[in-house]
Chain A
Amino acid sequence: MTEEHKDVVLLSFVKLLFKKGSWCGETHVQKATYFLQELLQVPLGFEFIFYKHGPYSFDLNDQITSLRADLLLTVKSRDPYGPSILSGENAASFLERFPKTRERYRDQAEFVAKRLGRKNVTELERLATALFVTKNELPEGTVEARAARINELKPHVALDLARAAVEEYDQLADEAKSFQAES
């Protein structure tokens, strides 16, 4: 995927997340993009490491900054809450130029935005950590084992909440599998 196409996919995705009710703070965009790339296999090429609030990509952070520089994205302060990342003034004309790229990954973006759009930071942190632990550390691990690992990595996530997150992730992964088989 070229840098320009990556911009198109990311920009369309942020717009969609917002439409589906996401607060669109940096954490929301990071975690949702993590699912788009790792679960739905959209080849964005971002490298995610385990960092604050779970998996995090510095490359994605740079990409968002670059989109802000081009006025394709903007950051809006929403006192007394955290800021949101929204479409910028050049976004509409830019996206109009790439109808094919927007169409190519629309269904995958819809899949993620529909399921994660309304989740808050704490829910996204747990769910994304469940994906990270399953994918990178315990692909064959039981629910208990993965929940214990989440609790180890993020001690503020209680075991029962970690367990619920792993179960929710497993269900999401099954749905993603069926979705990919159909498309």
Chain B
Amino acid sequence: MDLAGRVYDIVTDPNNILHDTVRDLVPEHNKMDHQYWRRVVRMAALCHDVGHLPFSHAAEDLLPKGQNHESLTIDLIESDEMKEIWSELAIHAHHVAKIAVGPRKYRKSMFTAWETILSEIIIGDAFGVDRMDYLLRDSHHIGVGYGKFDHTRLLDNLRILPKSYTDGSKSRERPSGELSLGVDFGGMHATEALLLARYFMYTQVYFHAVRRAYDFHLVSFLRSWLKSGSFSTNLEKHLAMTDNDVMAGILRAARTRRHPGHVPARIIVSREHYRLLYRRNPDDMKVNTEAAKLIARKAAGHFGNDSVHYYTKTEKGLTIDFPVWSTDGRITSSLARSDVLSRLPVLAIEYVLVAPEKMKEAKSWLEENRIKVITPKKE
């Protein structure tokens, strides 16, 4: 909430508005409209994650089809429970919900250009404060240095800019220059640091193989522990369910052999998690982009579905292409201004995890069969 308010203040400060199209869009400084949207942005940031389940993203697959934590966030923000708060603040619930989850998840109405920019402040691929906040917070609490970056320098240099750089066509007509969050060139290195921090935190923390193994065991436990095997989308039940309830359930199941969730619960409690047999790697990807999936499938056939787990995750969001304001007044793509960003790899992982008691045998099997399994076949 604090970061969101600071970004809002910086990008709407008249001294930081560098382009006429932006001036037309941003409400007049410190007038009622300006203050209204400031409250909306801060509340949207505060409420962005209220729809999270116990243990956040780990068990999101256990929501009914078509539901996710963002749909719960929207339902909560627009619920009677919150009505009084919005009324006291004199803001509309649907504005808060829209800005909190963005156009991908809020489908009840179209976004104006202004609403699109405001939602970028919260959830934008490059500069979303949600991500800035969790990178800084998680790296602090975990005790790793690579999640930190100079966020004050970065915030000070954020600007709303038109993406007016062309596609090199000979047409004299300039692109419409849809507005987007960008950066003054002075903040370019701080931006690189943010995106590198994101890369390192994802590869070494959020996508770590052991963490992913525990997600798998947690989901296995929850499937047997939750009524009908999924989380409820009833708001009261959602709010009543906490991490503590789940932890207590895990401990109880781990101590009770007859409990349907006993095996995954015991694995979690006694740290008997599945071990990493194989991870995607560039050499095998050259041979077959499906290498990890094929190895997982064959391994499951050989060692049994219950002993093998395949996990894959690729980052969302296409590319770090945002507008950069240069000192000579030109607006160019970040990818043209930064060699670091243009070389930053896409985050993607695939793991084949195996039950610890099968690990030794699985390693030998993989050594013997890897080439044969990944060799591609023609359609």
| Complex CA–CA separation, A23 to B168 (angstroms) | 7
Segment among B132-140, B183-191, B310-318 that sits at the interface with chain A: B310-318
Counting from the closest, the 4 A-B pairs by CB-CB distance are: A69-B348, A79-B336, A23-B167, A120-B169
Closest A residue, CB atoms, query B169: A120
- B330 and A72 contact, CB distance less than 8 A: no
Query: A58-81 interface mask toward B, CB cutoff 8 Å, 1 = contact, 0 = none?
Result: 100110111011111001011111
Q: Which of B329-379 contact A (CB under 8 A)?
A: 330, 332-333, 335-336, 342, 345-348, 376-379
Given contacts A79-B336, A120-B167, contact A68 B346 (CB under 8 A): yes
Cβ contact of B289, chosen from A61, A72, A75, A99, cutoff 8 A: A72
Contacts of B214 in A (CB 8 A): none
Known contacts A66-B348, A97-B377; A26/B169 CB under 8 A: no
Residue numbers in A under 8 Å from B9 (CB-CB): none
Let me know if A51 and B166 touch, CB within 8 A. Answer: no
Is residue B49 within 8 Å, beta carbon to beta carbon, of the partner chain? no
Q: Which A residues form the contact surface with B (CB < 8 A)? A: 4, 23, 25-28, 49-53, 58, 61-62, 64-66, 68-72, 75, 77-83, 89-90, 93-94, 96-101, 120-123, 125, 153-154, 156-157
Q: Chain B residues with Cβ under 8 A from A27's Cβ?
A: 167
Q: Is the CB of B318 within 8 A of A64?
A: yes
Question: Does residue B229 face the partner (Cβ distance < 8 Å to A)?
Answer: no
Query: In angstroms, how far is the closest chain A Cβ from the Cβ of B144?
Result: 24
Contact A156 B176 (CB under 8 A): yes
Within 8 A of A (CB), among B158-172: 163, 165-169, 171
CB pair B332–A79 under 8 Å, yes or no, is yes
Q: Are A65 and B378 in contact (CB under 8 A)?
A: no
Q: Is B124 an interface residue (CB 8 A)?
A: no
Query: B315 touches which one: A58, A65, A100 (CB < 8 A)?
Result: A65
Docked CA distance A77–B338 (Å): 10
Q: Across the two chains, which residue of chain B brings its CB closest to A102?
A: B379
Give the complex CA separation of A80 and B104 in angstroms: 30
Q: A62-B316, A100-B379, A125-B176 are in contact. Are A80 and B335 (CB under 8 A)?
A: no
Nearest CB of chain A from residue B324's CB, rounded to whole Å:
11
Tell me if A52 and B178 are in contact (CB < 8 A). yes
B116 within 8 A of A: yes
Report whether B116 and A52 are in contact in the complex, using a CB–CB cutoff of 8 Å: yes
Contacts of A53 in B (CB 8 A): 176, 178
Q: Name the residue of chain B whose CB is nearest to the CB of A125.
A: B176
CA distance A26 to B321 in the complex (A): 10
| Contact of B285 with A by CB under 8 A | yes
- Closest Cβ of chain A: how far from B133's Cβ, in Å? 22
B 318-331 to A, binary, CB cutoff 8 A, 1 in contact else 0? 11010000000010
Interface membership of B175, Cβ < 8 A: yes
B60 at the interface (CB under 8 A from A): no
B168:A65 contact, CB within 8 angstroms: no
Which B residues lie within 8 Å of A49 (CB)? 103-104, 107
CA distance A62 to B348 in the complex (A): 12
| Chain A residues with CB under 8 A of B167 | 23, 25, 27-28, 81-82, 120-121
Contacts beyond the supplied A66-B346, A97-B376, A121-B166: 19 A-B pairs with Cβ under 8 Å: A50-B110, A51-B111, A69-B315, A71-B282, A71-B285, A77-B336, A81-B167, A81-B336, A82-B321, A82-B333, A96-B378, A97-B377, A97-B378, A101-B379, A120-B167, A121-B176, A122-B174, A125-B176, A154-B176
Nearest-CB distance from B323 to chain A (Å)? 10
- Report the minimum CB–CB distance from A107 to chain B (whole Å): 18
**A77 CA to B107 CA, complexed, in Å:** 33
Most central of B165, B321, B346, B377 by chain A CB within 10 Å: B346
Minimum CB–CB distance from A58 to chain B (whole Å) comes to: 5
Which residues of the partner chain B approach A94 to less than 8 Å between Cβ atoms?
A: 289
In the assembled complex, the CB of B337 is this many whole angstroms from the nearest CB of chain A, namely 8
In the docked arrangement, what's the CA distance between A100 and B378, Å? Answer: 10
Return chain A residues, CB-CB under 8 Å to B180.
Answer: 52
Please determine whether A78 and B168 come into contact, CB atoms closer than 8 angstroms: yes
**Distance between Cα atoms of A113 and B163 in the complex (Å):** 25
User: In the complex, are the beta carbons of B173 and A122 less than 8 A apart?
Assistant: yes
User: Given A80-B332, A120-B169, A122-B173 in contact, is the A90-B285 Cβ separation under 8 Å?
Assistant: yes
Q: How many angstroms between the C-alpha atoms of A89 and B282 in the bound complex?
A: 11
A25's nearest neighbour on chain B, judged by CB, is B167
CA distance A182 to B167 in the complex (A): 35
**In the docked arrangement, what's the CA distance between A27 and B168, Å?**
13
Q: Which residues of A contact B378 (CB under 8 A)?
A: 96-97, 99
A23 (CB) vs chain B CBs: closest residue: B167
Contact partner of B319 among A75, A90, A123, CB < 8 A? A75
B316 touches A77 (CB 8 A): no
